[in-house]
Amino acid sequence: MGMYDYFICDTSCPVCGNYIIEPYQTKDFERLLDSYKPGDTVCVEGPIHVYTHCRHHIDIEKFEENMFFVNNTAIWIEYEIPIIDGKIAMDQNQWKLLEVKEVDFNGLTFIPDGMTKEEVVLHYVRFNHKMKHDIEVMSVEKKKWE
Ligand SMILES: [Zn+2]
């Protein structure tokens, strides 16, 4: 029942220049929440499309109790990446930046008691960072078992 896979790579935002924290996603593989990275050998001909967001502005308002309403202004970033000799191209000069556009996200999030607004924003950003780290750890461990 997968929806997409992750694509883990180091890039910076074409608009603000900041390091992209959120993992890229792609629907071009098995969509089993696996992780792929540049240089991986894959069974598709390509090119593949990967996309993510750079969060530019996070506004958090208390909704009720520990629920907060989060309003994000973000930049949608999408790359087209060629498959060369069966491998995902590692050289980012071969990647084509397909789309860069501003998008808004709104949603509710759960925040522990006693945090200031600044801590809430940090918590939110760290959560995203931790998620990326966990995915990397999971994919390393998975490789060990293979
Ligand atoms: Zn940015």
Other beta carbons within 10 angstroms of residue 45's beta carbon come to: 10
- CA of 113 relative to ligand 1 center, distance in Å: 30
In this prediction, residues 123-137 reach a mean pLDDT of 63
Element (H, E) at 86: none
- CA of 101 relative to ligand 1 center, distance in Å: 10
**Kind of pairing between the strands at 48-64 and 83-84:** unpaired
- CA of 103 relative to ligand 1 center, distance in Å: 12
| CB neighbour class for 53 (10 Å; exposed up to 12, middle 13-18, buried from 19) | buried
Length of the chain: 146
Per DSSP (E only), the strands in 82-132 are: 83-84, 87-88, 96-110
> What pLDDT was estimated at residue 40?
97
Q: What tens digit of pLDDT does each residue of 39-98 get?
A: 999 999 999 999 998 888 777 787 787 787 877 788 999 999 999 999 999 999 999 999
